[in-house]
Amino acid sequence: MTFFVDVTVRGYELDTQGHLNQAVYLQYAEHARWELLRAAGLPQEKLLADGVGPVALEVTVKFLKELRGGERVRVSCRFDYGKGKTFTVAQQILKEDGTVAADITGVAGILDLSTRRLIPDPGGRLASLAKDPELLSG
Amino acid sequence: MTFFVDVTVRGYELDTQGHLNQAVYLQYAEHARWELLRAAGLPQEKLLADGVGPVALEVTVKFLKELRGGERVRVSCRFDYGKGKTFTVAQQILKEDGTVAADITGVAGILDLSTRRLIPDPGGRLASLAKDPELLSG
Amino acid sequence: MTFFVDVTVRGYELDTQGHLNQAVYLQYAEHARWELLRAAGLPQEKLLADGVGPVALEVTVKFLKELRGGERVRVSCRFDYGKGKTFTVAQQILKEDGTVAADITGVAGILDLSTRRLIPDPGGRLASLAKDPELLSG
Amino acid sequence: MTFFVDVTVRGYELDTQGHLNQAVYLQYAEHARWELLRAAGLPQEKLLADGVGPVALEVTVKFLKELRGGERVRVSCRFDYGKGKTFTVAQQILKEDGTVAADITGVAGILDLSTRRLIPDPGGRLASLAKDPELLSG
């Protein structure tokens, strides 16, 4: 299952060339990840209270289309777990007509905030804390 | 008439204390101003093409309530013109239950982008460029 | 004594009109406040560990000069305490030639992070935690 | 030749976990690119006046080390041109002890702002506009 959130491009997010600043694509992607976690019952304060936090290890953004002020876009998010301490995050930013404005692929993990080390089985740990664990897996 | 836009607090906008960062209140207010202008038929690219741009001269923010990740807020915006080169901007950020999270009062003008000086009668100039000038005045 | 930090205007902080975005003035001011606290021996993690955090209650910004990409500015910060739970924060953003680009005046307090209420005698509390309390007062 | 700029991590750039937000790594990288262009005699306003602008097509960030408030980091930038319309951008964020906090590799081009298309020979075009073209090539 792929989760998504809708976002309106805000005027202050544009750069001197009049299009969405490149770093804001990553902010939109992060917003969708937090909203997925929240929808699954894992808001930031719950994760902090449990002593864990998601951490980005690597991300690749392909910028395919410019975005303009006021445009409405849809940001998708899907987590795919394997057997290791890391998992992949597949995201897209879609324009209203369905064209892909950006492809964002990441590698992430779950940090133990006291030891500052990645925990094993991140998917299992998140699922055990969540109210609605189905959202957490592809 | 008071214009408004709805905004969801994004996870990356929170600070180390877990609430909305203070500068982001100003970003929300700016977003509402651009959306009001866009709704009136004045997107940024049209204003730039006409050689004018809004400029903030002074702003006061009263921070009344903390905001948390995922909260939905409404940001209002009303322009009040007098006889001078500046006008006042009255904005509020409202929580879903109607309580006021922030009061934002500003003084603004319209800059001639070539001379970098404020133009006279900003309300009249904006109205002459707009498709829906009613939105532009309180 | 007035504390200050030097900041270079970054390219991504400019808006479509090519000058520093208005909300970034507040970010610069916040940066100077954190750096003052750090210089006094109070980095964010120490304050969090002590269960307190600074909170902005009100701020007024007077935007006096545009700032351009690459400009170097100096951001000052001075805390003035009275007898109540709040104190005033006086800040300026100065251009290299000494002209004032912005005047920023705020009212702040120190929040008890567990009760979410302002503590009494914020100046005394900060001074008791600091290594170099002289920086903390005007 | 590899260009670099020094940056201090600002308090408002930290996230709820107390370390530098992931999207800000990209902002630092963008800052270094603009500063390289400025140092070569190509500030944003000159590029805009010439009707061209740099555009990011793809970027990969490897997040290797957390960064904390107040840390001083060095951000490097090197452009490598081939024969096509795109070129690669190799950047690193280095901690004060020289360890690499992030590796950032991008593909970029130069946009003709009127046709919104990539121009051929971007390295040659930038060099022809620059005062100090040596900075523009690896």
* ipTM of the prediction: 0.94
For the structural domain made of B3-136, what CATH number should be given? Answer: 3.10.129.10
D128 at interface of C, judged by CB pairs closer than 8 A: no
Residues in chain C: 138
C71 at interface of D, judged by CB pairs closer than 8 A: no
Q: Is the pLDDT of residue C18 over 90?
A: no
Of these residues, A6, A15, A80, A132, which one is catalytic? A15
**Pairing state of beta strands A52-63 and A100-112?**
antiparallel
Q: How far apart are CA C88 and CA C7, in angstroms?
A: 23
Q: Do C12 and D34 touch (CB under 8 A)?
A: yes
Q: Do B14 and D18 touch (CB under 8 A)?
A: no
What is the model's pLDDT at position A137? 85
Partnered with residue B69 across adjacent β-strands are none
Helix (H, G, I), strand (E, B) or coil at B68: coil
D69 at interface of C, judged by CB pairs closer than 8 A: yes
pLDDT digits (tens, 9 = 90+) for D83-97: 999 999 999 999 999
Per the rule left: phi > 0, alpha: psi between -120 and 50, beta: everything else, C125 is alpha
Residue to substitute from A13, A14, A16, A17, interface D, most D β-carbons within 10 A: A17
Which of the residues of C are catalytic? 15
| Residue A19 Cα distances to A90, A97, D56, angstroms | 24, 18, 12
* D131: its two tokens: 């005062």
D116 at interface of A, judged by CB pairs closer than 8 A: yes
What is the model's pLDDT at position D17? 82
The band of C34, judged by pLDDT with boundaries at 50, 70 and 90, is very high
pLDDT digits (tens, 9 = 90+) for C88-102: 999 999 999 999 999
What is the model's pLDDT at position D1? 61
Q: Is the pLDDT of residue C83 over 80?
A: yes
How far D135 CA sits from the closest chain A CA (Å)? 23
What is the H or E stretch that residue A90 is in? strand A86-94
What lies within 8 Å, CB to CB, of A71 at 6+ separation is: A8, A9, A95, A96
C-beta separation of B92 from B102 below 8 A: yes
3-state helix/strand/coil string of D84-114: CCEEEEEEEEECCCCCEEEEEEEEEEEEECC
Q: How far apart are the first and last CA of chain A?
A: 5
Return the residue of C nearest to A19 by Cα: C16
C-beta separation of A47 from A53 below 8 A: yes
Which C positions 5-64 lie with beta carbon below 8 A of chain A?
Answer: 12, 14-16, 18, 21, 23
What count of other Cβ atoms lies within 10 Å of the Cβ of residue A122? 24
pTM of the model: 0.93
Return the residue of C nearest to D38 by Cα: C70
C-beta separation of B105 from B126 below 8 A: no
C-beta separation of B124 from B130 below 8 A: no
A114 at interface of D, judged by CB pairs closer than 8 A: no
For residue B11, give the nearest of A10, A14, A34 by CB distance.
A34
For residue B23, give the nearest of D12, D16, D21 by CB distance.
D12
Extract the residue ranges of chain B whose pLDDT is less than 70: 1, 138
Which of the residues of D are catalytic? 15
Q: How far apart are CA A136 and CA B11, in angstroms?
A: 17
C-beta separation of D71 from D99 below 8 A: no
What lies within 8 Å, CB to CB, of D58 at 6+ separation is: A60, A61, A62, A63, D106, D107
How far B83 CA sits from the closest chain C CA (Å)? 21
Q: Give partners of B (≥3 CB pairs < 8 A).
A: A, C, D
What is the model's pLDDT at position A18? 84
Q: Do A62 and D60 touch (CB under 8 A)?
A: no
pLDDT digits (tens, 9 = 90+) for C51-67: 999 999 999 999 999 99
Written as tens digits, the pLDDT of chain D (138 aa) is 689 999 999 999 998 888 999 999 999 999 999 999 999 999 988 998 999 999 999 999 999 999 999 999 999 999 999 899 999 999 999 999 999 999 999 999 999 989 989 999 999 999 999 999 999 986
Q: Give partners of C (≥3 CB pairs < 8 A).
A: A, B, D
Residue to substitute from D20, D28, D52, D61, interface A, most A β-carbons within 10 A: D61
Of these residues, B6, B15, B80, B132, which one is catalytic? B15
